[in-house]
Amino acid sequence: MEKSSHEKLILVTREPNGVAWITINRPKSLNSLTKSMMVDLARIFKSLDADDSVRVIILTGSGRSFCSGVDLTAAEDVFKGDVKDVETDPVAQMERCRKPIIGAIAGFAVTAGFEISLACDLLLASKDAKFLDTHARFGIFPSWGLSQKLSRVIGPNRAREVSLTATPINAEQAERWGLVNYVVDRSELLNKARQIAEAIIKNNQDLVLRYKAVINDGFKQDLTRALALEKERAYEYYDGMSKDHFKKMQEFIAGRSSSIPSSKL
């Protein structure tokens, strides 16, 4: 690995192949988030999105848990202020990030940690992972999207039960309900995340960014409008291609078609 840096309680590592790792690094407090950590996370995601050498981002936590939520010992400092300020909102910056974000979740992802998980494009979980929403238990109003996103992933009835009862979702349930892509042994979690990142990197970077965007943007709309959006962006994409671009595409396809590797996913 190269260009490793320490961002206080957030570790950032960039690899030569285009994978960037973000690690929430406050294990003695189960990676609970302070205000400064939230601001750092937001800034880091914005920075990595602007870095052309970064192609995929993997987000994880050190120690026993991914993220146990907000540090409630400093609740007033965390919650007072403008919750609409996207510059200091890590979830808002994750949603704006063009690069694919893979979440590697081990142990607990609680409330804010759950919301950060939902902002990832793909989720992997260790077998001991648990997702828990404690907003209702502690009288905290959600502001990072959990009240809206979870129901769109697992269905409104399940989401209401999970949030109103503060009942944890274990890894097996999360996979069955479509919340996570894979459940693996904790020892294999980061290897699996790397494997998926490397599979993404092998593809056309420009198309990967455009594809992620049209999936995410279309999901916010009804199907009729989403299909029209796909047509619009396909037109823009092909209309901007020169004859040389099409020639290179044909050469690339010809070179790959005879030696397409089997997927390891």
14-66 pLDDT tens trace: 999 999 999 999 999 999 999 999 999 999 999 999 999 999 999 999 999 99
What pLDDT was estimated at residue 211?
98
Q: Do the Cβ atoms of 24 and 31 come closer than 8 Å?
A: yes
3-state helix, strand, coil in the chain (%, to 5): 50, 20, 30
pLDDT for the residue 249: 78
List, by residue range, all CATH 1.10.12 domains of the chain.
205-257
Q: Within the chain, which residue ranges are assigned CATH 3.90.226.10? A: 2-201
pLDDT for residue 3: 45
Tokens for 122?
């793909």
pLDDT computed for residue 256 by the predictor: 65
Whole-number pLDDT of residue 196: 99
Q: Which of 113, 139, 122 is nearest to 175 (CA)?
A: 122
Topology of the domain covering 205-257: Lyase 2-enoyl-coa Hydratase; Chain  A, domain 2 (1.10.12)
The pTM is what?
0.90
Q: What is the pLDDT of residue 5?
A: 45
Enumerate residue ranges in the chain where pLDDT < 50.
1-7
Q: Where are the alpha helices (DSSP H) in the chain?
A: 35-50, 75-79, 90-96, 112-118, 135-138, 146-154, 156-165, 171-176, 189-201, 205-219, 223-239, 243-257
pLDDT of res. 61: 98
Question: CATH for 2-201?
Answer: 3.90.226.10
In order of 30, 49, 93, the CA distances from 69 in angstroms are: 9, 24, 18
